[in-house]
Structure 1
Amino acid sequence: MVTHPRFEYVLVGLLAAAITFLLTPLMRVLAVRIGAVANPRDRDVHAMAIPRLGGVAMFGGVALALLVASQLPSLQASFRSGPEMGWVVLAAAIICALGVLDDKYELDSLTKLAGQVLAAGIMVTRGGTQLAFVYVPFGDVGTISLGGDIGVPVTILLTLVTINALNFIDGLDGLAAGVTAISAGAMFVFSYHLSQQGYQSVPAAPTLLAALLVGACLGFLPHNFYPAKLFMGDSGSMLLGLLLSASTATATTQVDPQAFTTLTNTLPLVLPLLIPVAVLAVPFIDLLLAVVRRVSRGRSPFAPDKQHLHHRLLELGHSQRRAVVLLYIWSALLASFGVGLSYTNGRTAAVLPIVAGVIVVAVLLLVVTRLQGRQTTSDVTPLYPVRSSPDEPVS
């Protein structure tokens, strides 16, 4: 009996979600016992100590679901062509362990950066998850094969940017997990479309990694959406950034660059570079603004502050939930635009009506709160709600 890969993708995605969902309460107990707890700070929006280590649950969900995928009839091919999944899992384990140490001991930024480089280097050099080709639409350059000398450092750099972009936006309950689910979902649709067009095999590594990420994030969100019972911590945000980068970087490794002769045909080579920018535009913009803001004030770019995009939404009068949903909408808008181009062969006119509709909805949601405007103090202050425990209602 032959099983279509799409059913196996659904199966491993649901498995990753179920395992993550079941492991998360255990990680909450463990976090409390070892003291991996996020105590309120001036820049935080929570007013009570919340356990961390949610990333360990997500790593367990991804790793166990990946083990099952290696035994499925169709998805076995994902392990024979493409990156070495064993090295990818090892890199994920390293960065998750680094995050656990930071969740417990709050490591300095240079130590964290060194660990990120180590994990990304292993994933790229040993795991083989590197950008293979880039299309240059100017002049007669055409498709460039990067090779190891250029592809390795470029992919490591993109991985570090993605890791830290997700880390920067992990400031509201459910925000990083939801944005990653949207991003990974967009990559899944895009990568699966490549297989339907014959650019890569249907059971491909980037498609599988994206499906696992979507499942892990959806399994974690019920515990993490406002009011959160557990934070993913750096063990989660850095893990998600690493695996999302692995999915996007490997989207071009299985395609034949000789098959692309026009700008339209080269979309499969261009979009792996554009989609991370599109689906992660919100965290990337937040990261860029934070670095510029801090450096201009003579501070370290890694110095924390309370002026991220989600902080500004709260200052406008949005509740935590509404601020998170607004950022979901903007992330989905940009992601759908990037992926939509691959389905319309680059014809933006076919995608613009959908984009315009989502923009209208997002702007209305933003304006409605501004018009309601002068909310009562009890509506605005609970952006920092007081709860004696995560299980009790907001006071």
Structure 2
Amino acid sequence: MGTLDVLNMIFAFIISFVFTFAATPLVRRLAFKIGAIDVPRDKRRMHKKPTPRIGGLAIVFGFLVATLCFTDMSRQLAGTLCGAAIIVALGIIDDCNALDAKFKFLVQIVAALVVVFVGDIKIDVFTNPNIFSNDPYWVLPPWLSVAVTVIWIVFITNAVNFIDGLDGLAAGVSAIMSVSLVFIAIRVGEASIATLGIALMGSCFGFLPFNFNPAKIFMGDTGSTFLGFMLATLSIQGVFKSYAVISFAVPLLILGLPLFDASFAMIRRMAKGQSPMIADRGHLHHRLIDMGFSQKQTVFILYAISGVLGIAAVLLAESGALRALLLLICVLIFLLIGSLLGKNSYVHHIEKHEDEGENTEVKKDEQN
């Protein structure tokens, strides 16, 4: 990786940051004009007043300018941008007029297939699950490679969307995950992937000043699904291809926070007989809020968790003998967090309802 590559990365960050920062107020005005406003109508919403969304347009704009200026167009990039265009168009429509979850899911699958067939981007190698085999690699058959890739892209796209529930959370966590992807891409000499990751990071940082609590604008599905889509495709190109021996471990750690939250949410909903795509108030950030943390405290706690996982991913890719230990520790941390959050949130929920019941009885006695 030469001096020109380093300069491209530096300028990609600056340009994406500046253009996103400059475009966000303009997008905010546009949101008011077209009625793309998020009005809090239920307890799941954490904001108290109507707030413009589609802020993700500014993120997309800053990223696109930096990408076109400082990266060479390739088949992989063309496929990625075509798929991203579908995701962004879907997000804009959804932010203006709520779409059916099943329809969005189908369109996301189409966008992922565009990445696979137009961009020729696939997950085709895993660590061999057979511990008795001398071959460390397991090459997937073409049909399974396509299926795994589509599932990965669609799942990450929705996972990042799921964590977009507090001011600054999705943008900050996406920036942190981008940093980890950039470090690994640089380490393996993938300059183009590193530049894309830095452009994505710069766009997130450019948007954050307007999105911190209290937010002046939300990124909406336009931004959260775009960030998830890009992180998913970049992880395939920059991590899976270069670290096939450790397979899912590194990208799972980098994207661990939204992956864990989305998995936990879907399992919880299906256990209740609900659609896994239905919105609820059981995400990690909701549970931390229910435990008594403020919005800002919750956001910084989740930033810290994402940062630790990102560092662990980089170390895992470099450490050799420590790989298994690091992975085990991270898994145990996630299991501990999940059990604590689930237990404390449940206890808080029961106590809250008991208090409400007592207050109701007192009011009835007073009325009598």
TM-score by length of 1: 0.78
Question: Which of 80, 88, 93 pairs up with 1:88?
Answer: 80
Q: Distance in 1 between matches of 2:109 and 2:156?
A: 12
In the alignment, the residues of structure 2 paired with residue 252 and residue 333 of structure 1 have an alpha-carbon distance, to the nearest angstrom, of: 18
Deviation of residue 89 (structure 1)? Answer: 1.2
Q: Which residue of 1 aligns with 2:166?
A: 172
Note the C-alpha offset of 1:250. 1.0
> Does 2:117 correspond to 1:125?
yes
Find 2:180's aligned residue among 186, 195, 212. Answer: 186
User: Is residue 139 of structure 1 aligned with residue 132 of structure 2?
Assistant: yes
Q: Counterpart of 1:214 in 2: which secondary structure?
A: helix
Maintained 8 Å contact 1:187/1:275: no
Higher helix share: 2
**1:55–1:236: 8 Å Cα contact kept in structure 2?**
yes
Q: C-alpha root-mean-square deviation of aligned residues, in Å? A: 2.5
1:224 aligns with 2:217: no
Q: What amino acid is aligned across from residue 338 of structure 1 in structure 2?
A: A
Give the SS at the match of 1:84: helix
CA contact under 8 A between 2:251 and 2:313: conserved in structure 1?
no
Pair 1:251-2:238 in alignment: yes
Q: Kindly tell me: are residues 270 and 52 of structure 1, through their superposed partners in 2, closer, same or farther at Cα, counting changes over 3 Å? A: farther
Q: Give the counterpart letter for 2:137 in structure 1.
A: T
The answer to whether 1:54 aligns with 2:46 is no
Whether the aligned pair in 2 keeps the contact of 1:248 and 1:272 (CA below 8 Å) is: no
**Counterpart amino acid of residue 290 in structure 2:** E
What residue identity is the alignment partner of 2:24?
T
Alpha carbons of 1:94 and 1:156: their partners in 2 closer, same or farther (altered >3 Å)? same
CA distance change for structure 1 residues 351 and 290 in 2, over 3 Å: closer, same or farther?
Answer: closer
Q: CA deviation at 1:191?
A: 1.4
Written as runs of structure 1 = structure 2, the 5 A alignment for 1:150-169 is: 150-169=144-163
- Matched AA of 2:10: V
Within 5 Å, which residues of 2 pair with 1:1-395?
A: 3-42=3-42, 43-70=44-71, 76=72, 79-80=73-74, 83-136=75-128, 138-140=131-133, 141-146=135-140, 148-195=142-189, 202-204=190-192, 206-251=193-238, 268-271=243-246, 273-348=248-323
**For the residues of structure 2 that align with 1:110 and 1:291, how far apart are their CA atoms?**
15
Does the 8 Å CA contact 1:133/1:252 hold for their aligned counterparts? no
Tell me the SS of whatever aligns to 2:138. strand
> Could you say if the C-alpha distance between residues 61 and 270 of structure 1 is closer, same or farther in structure 2, counting changes exceeding 3 Å?
farther
Provide structure 2 residue ranges, at least 5 long, that are not aligned to the other structure. 342-368
> SS of the counterpart of 2:188?
helix
Q: Return the offset for 1:272.
A: 5.7
Q: 2: CA distance between counterparts of 1:348 and 1:280?
A: 17
Q: 1:289 to 1:350 in 2, by over 3 A?
A: closer
Question: By how many angstroms is 1:305 displaced?
Answer: 1.3
What are the ranges of 5 or more consecutive residues in structure 1 without an aligned counterpart?
71-75, 196-201, 256-267, 367-395
Q: Secondary structure at the match of 1:343?
A: helix
C-alpha separation between the residues in 2 aligned to 1:227 and 1:104?
22
Q: Give every structure 1 segment of 4 or more consecutive aligned residues whose post-TM-superposition deviation is greater than 6 Å.
A: 349-352
How far the C-alpha of 1:49 sits from its partner, in A, is 0.6
- Confirm or deny: 8 A CA contact 2:126 2:247 kept in the other structure: no
Q: 1:147 to 1:216 in 2, by over 3 A?
A: farther
1:200-236, Cα deviation, whole Å (9 max, x unpaired): xx423x3222112111111111111111111010011
Question: For the structure 1 residues 246 and 305, does the alpha-carbon distance in structure 2 shift closer, same or farther, using more than 3 Å as the test?
Answer: same
Matches of 1:55 and 1:249, distance apart in 2: 23
Q: Give the letter aligned to residue 115 of structure 2.
A: M
What SS does the corresponding residue of 2:191 show, helix, strand or coil? coil
